[in-house]
């Protein structure tokens, strides 16, 4: 306790704040990267005028409430007001579209990663670049706005992402971490900068439509360990309106949740990978070499130090499960039984283990929003069965947990089976793994590989960006991020590894076959059931 108090008072700490889809989380760590306080704020995206968005008011109120909760936790636990912090880092949902004019005014509402409306632009750029450009990437959103003839495009002087925006407002620096940059515009892993050939192709494509060159509106790329500016006086008041927090704190490069997930799971080394399973789900595998060709199911991004990563990103994971858990909770409440949310999840997840290995013929799609990997254009969550299916609670829950990894498996099978990508270890993190072993064992079955879940899995990306902030100020001369994680963060960390159960693997393969064959059903639902 005294050591922690001393660390807080002397500023030998690091703070990571990550903006997830449904929660903003802050984690304060000591010099050993051990979490010593945390805070959070719950929020939800809005679907307005056909766009998934959060307002600027949502962003700043959420950030301030999250920070305030963390600062209160410090005062409550240790009897100290938080004034000094060694370093700060910000992370957020990947990519999306935030563009500003010469007066720093946001030109159109923030378009999040969840929007698939830039698919025509992404497809065109994929063809021109011979490099997969997903609809959620910033350059796809930009080109789609140009194709649409949107009025605001002529006024763009700066484009960034959510964490890049927050970092800019707090430091005045228009910078971005390389992992997030690689989802704004393709990055050359050799130069650690935006790919020059593709910049030239894109500039030639848009030269008659806009007055700017794309490199002039994009943020400067930094890598893990670089100093990305300091908290200004105005920035300190914006983050902490109480006025307690002192300015001058150094900030690390802002990173996307993919990069922080890699850090939080010690997955920045080649032949390692991680799966983050929350509102969305994505698998990241650090590659030894480039893939043989572009695949629409696989994005090529980088680690926070710029190494090439094969990424399968799916828009949907736990949202539909959350809806069913809420429904069961509502039913229990009608019966006069109030069951804590955590117990509802545990009991329903554990019940799934009693189900048939292939879910008894049941089929579910968790598409609250569109799913680009399986080419479904809009959200139509579905549960389907035949009259012969074995319909019971265990199979019902198992089907919904399997389908959380359904689209992910489609993409991972390409890397692991068709491309022969090698994996020494894969680590799971995120909300789906909070219930012991269940989600972990189903992921192992889906990819037919051992899966490790660390005890720190629940800390997630907020902890990951706190580590990156600490790395910036505590690394030794020449110390790589890989070595720092291995020796100073994860040495001695406890984790549980589950090998795939052959019966589960066989059952998941049967479910996956049904899943792929049933996709026309959900596509037809998009056509037949209009919003």
Integer Cα distance of 361 and 363 in angstroms: 7
Average pLDDT of the chain? 95
Give 451's contacts (C-beta < 8 A, 6+ positions apart). 275, 426, 427, 428, 440, 441, 443, 444, 497, 498
pLDDT tens-digit readout, 171-201: 999 999 999 999 999 999 999 999 999 999 9
- Predicted confidence band of residue 459 (pLDDT cuts 50, 70, 90): low
- Predicted confidence band of residue 456 (pLDDT cuts 50, 70, 90): low
pLDDT tens-digit readout, 138-176: 999 999 999 999 999 999 999 999 999 999 999 999 999
Q: Which of 172, 1, 16 is nearest to 86 (CA)?
A: 16
Give 259's contacts (C-beta < 8 A, 6+ positions apart). 91, 177, 179, 180, 303, 304, 464, 468
Integer Cα distance of 318 and 330 in angstroms: 18
- Predicted confidence band of residue 461 (pLDDT cuts 50, 70, 90): confident
Please give the share of the chain, as a percent, with pLDDT higher than 90.
Answer: 88
Q: Strand 255-256 and strand 87-92: pairing?
A: parallel
DSSP letter at 416?
I
- Predicted confidence band of residue 431 (pLDDT cuts 50, 70, 90): confident
Q: Is the pLDDT of residue 5 over 90?
A: yes
- For residues 36 and 29, is the Cβ–Cβ distance under 8 A? yes
pLDDT tens-digit readout, 301-329: 999 999 999 999 898 999 999 999 999 99
Structure-block tokens of residue 301 = 């991004």
Q: Is the pLDDT of residue 531 over 80?
A: no
- Predicted confidence band of residue 429 (pLDDT cuts 50, 70, 90): confident
- Predicted confidence band of residue 457 (pLDDT cuts 50, 70, 90): low
Structure-block tokens of residue 502 = 């052959």
Question: Taking the CA atoms of the chain, what radius of gyration do you get in angstroms?
Answer: 23
**Could you give phi then psi for residue 285, rounded to 5 degrees?**
-125, 120
Rounded average pLDDT over 263-287: 91
- Predicted confidence band of residue 440 (pLDDT cuts 50, 70, 90): very high
Q: Is the pLDDT of residue 111 over 80?
A: yes
Please compute, for residue 97, the number of CA atoms within 13 A of its CA located in the half-sphere on the CB side.
Answer: 28
pLDDT tens-digit readout, 215-254: 999 999 999 999 999 999 999 999 999 999 999 999 999 9
Residue 114: the pLDDT is 81
pLDDT tens-digit readout, 344-385: 999 999 999 999 999 999 999 999 999 989 999 899 999 999
Residue 113: the pLDDT is 84
pLDDT tens-digit readout, 82-107: 999 999 999 999 889 999 999 999 99
CB burial of residue 289 (10 Å; 0-12, 13-18, 19+)? exposed
- For residue 217, the tally of other CB atoms under 10 A from its CB is 17
Rounded average pLDDT over 509-526: 97
Q: Which of 296, 367, 343 is nearest to 140 (CA)?
A: 296
Residue 175: the pLDDT is 98
pTM of the model: 0.84
Rounded average pLDDT over 441-461: 84
- For residues 463 and 490, is the Cβ–Cβ distance under 8 A? no
Rounded average pLDDT over 69-76: 97
- For residues 356 and 402, is the Cβ–Cβ distance under 8 A? no
SS3 300: strand
Integer Cα distance of 233 and 257 in angstroms: 27
Residue 458: the pLDDT is 54
Integer Cα distance of 486 and 268 in angstroms: 10
Contacts of 7-11 with C-beta under 8 Å, sequence gap 24+, read 7/31, 7/36, 8/36, 8/74, 8/78, 8/80, 8/82, 8/84, 9/80, 9/84, 10/84, 11/84, 11/85, 11/86, 11/249
- Predicted confidence band of residue 258 (pLDDT cuts 50, 70, 90): confident
Integer Cα distance of 109 and 99 in angstroms: 9
């Amino acid at each position: 306790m005294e050591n922690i108090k001393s660390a807080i008072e002397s500023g030998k700490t690091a703070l990571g704040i990550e903006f997830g889809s449904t929660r903003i989380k802050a984690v304060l760590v000591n010099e050993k990267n051990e979490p010593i306080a945390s805070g959070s704020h719950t929020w939800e995206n809005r679907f307005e005028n056909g766009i998934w968005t959060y307002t600027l008011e949502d962003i700043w109120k959420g950030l301030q409430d999250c920070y305030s909760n963390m600062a209160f936790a410090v005062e409550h636990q240790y009897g100290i007001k938080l004034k000094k912090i060694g370093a700060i880092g910000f992370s957020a949902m990947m990519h999306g579209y935030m563009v500003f004019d010469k007066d720093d005014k946001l030109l159109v509402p923030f378009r999040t990663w969840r929007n698939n409306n830039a698919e025509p632009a992404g497809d065109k750029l994929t063809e021109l670049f011979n490099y997969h450009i997903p609809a959620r990437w910033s350059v796809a959103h930009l080109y789609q706005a140009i194709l649409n003839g949107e009025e605001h495009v002529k006024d763009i002087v700066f484009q960034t992402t959510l964490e890049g925006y927050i970092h800019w407002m707090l430091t005045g620096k228009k910078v971005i971490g390389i992992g997030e940059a690689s989802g704004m515009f393709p990055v050359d892993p050799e130069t650690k900068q935006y790919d020059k050939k593709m910049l030239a192709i894109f500039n030639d494509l848009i030269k008659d439509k806009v007055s700017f060159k794309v490199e002039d509106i994009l943020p400067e790329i930094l890598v893990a360990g670089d100093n990305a500016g300091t908290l200004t006086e105005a920035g300190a008041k914006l983050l902490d309106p109480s006025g307690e927090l002192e300015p001058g704190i150094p900030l690390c490069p802002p990173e996307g949740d993919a990069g922080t997930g890699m850090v939080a799971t010690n997955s920045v080394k080649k032949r390692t990978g991680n799966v983050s399973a929350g509102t969305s789900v994505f698998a990241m595998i650090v590659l030894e070499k480039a893939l043989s060709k572009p695949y629409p199911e696989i994005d090529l991004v980088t680690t926070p130090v710029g190494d090439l990563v094969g990424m399968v990103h799916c828009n949907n994971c736990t949202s539909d499960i959350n809806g069913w858990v809420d429904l069961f909770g509502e039913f229990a409440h009608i019966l006069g039984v109030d069951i804590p949310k955590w117990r509802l999840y545990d009991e329903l997840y554990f019940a799934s283990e009693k189900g048939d290995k292939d879910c008894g013929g049941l089929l579910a799609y968790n598409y609250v929003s569109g799913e680009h990997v399986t080419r479904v254009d809009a959200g139509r969550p579905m549960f389907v069965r035949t009259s012969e299916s074995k319909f019971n609670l265990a199979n019902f829950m198992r089907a919904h947990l399997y389908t959380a990894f359904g689209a992910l498996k489609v993409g991972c099978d390409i890397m692991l089976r068709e491309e022969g990508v090698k994996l020494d270890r894969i680590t799971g993190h995120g909300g789906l793994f909070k219930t012991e072993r269940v989600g972990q064992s189903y992921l192992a079955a889906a990819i037919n590989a051992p899966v490790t879940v660390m005890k720190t899995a629940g800390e997630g990306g907020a902890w990951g960006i706190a580590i990156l902030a600490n790395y910036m100020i505590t690394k030794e001369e020449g110390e790589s991020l890989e070595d720092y994680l291995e020796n100073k963060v994860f040495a001695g960390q406890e984790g549980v590894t589950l090998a795939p159960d052959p019966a589960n693997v066989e059952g998941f393969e049967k479910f996956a076959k049904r899943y792929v064959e049933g996709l026309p059903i959900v596509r037809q639902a998009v056509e037949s059931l209009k919003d």
